[in-house]
Amino acid sequence: MNNISQLLQQAQKMQVRFKQIQTELENKKFEGTSGGGMVRAVVNGKQELLELRIDKDIVDPKDAEMLEELVCAAVNKALENSRETLGQEMSKLTGGFNLPGIFSNILGG
């Protein structure tokens, strides 16, 4: 019975820490760039796009497709950086164990 009680206490502590990490990451900014830094995207830990900067020198009305690709690449890199940081923090907390559903719950999915 004592082992079950200890296990429940550990689970509660882990749940509190998950919430702390979630709050910390929601307020953190993650950056991604493309085109040698000419396109810059910033997202937060809630996977929301906060900023998008495009160097005016790469804006060519005749080649909107290239600009679209650069924007997508920068945003995707910023999101990847956010998810990677979340994964690292969760791995620290769980001792490297993969707990199914945890990441999607923290990201609000």
Pair 57, 38: CB distance under 8 Å: yes
Pair 27, 82: CB distance under 8 Å: no
Residues 18-46: tens digit of each pLDDT: 888 888 888 999 999 999 999 999 999 99
CATH topology for 2-106?
Ybab; Chain: A; (3.30.1310)
pTM: 0.73
Distances (CA, A) of 41 to 46, 54, 85, 93: 14, 9, 16, 28
Residues 52-84: tens digit of each pLDDT: 999 999 999 899 999 999 999 999 999 999 999
pLDDT, mean over the chain: 86
Residue 72: CB atoms within 10 Å:
13
Predicted pLDDT at 28:
94
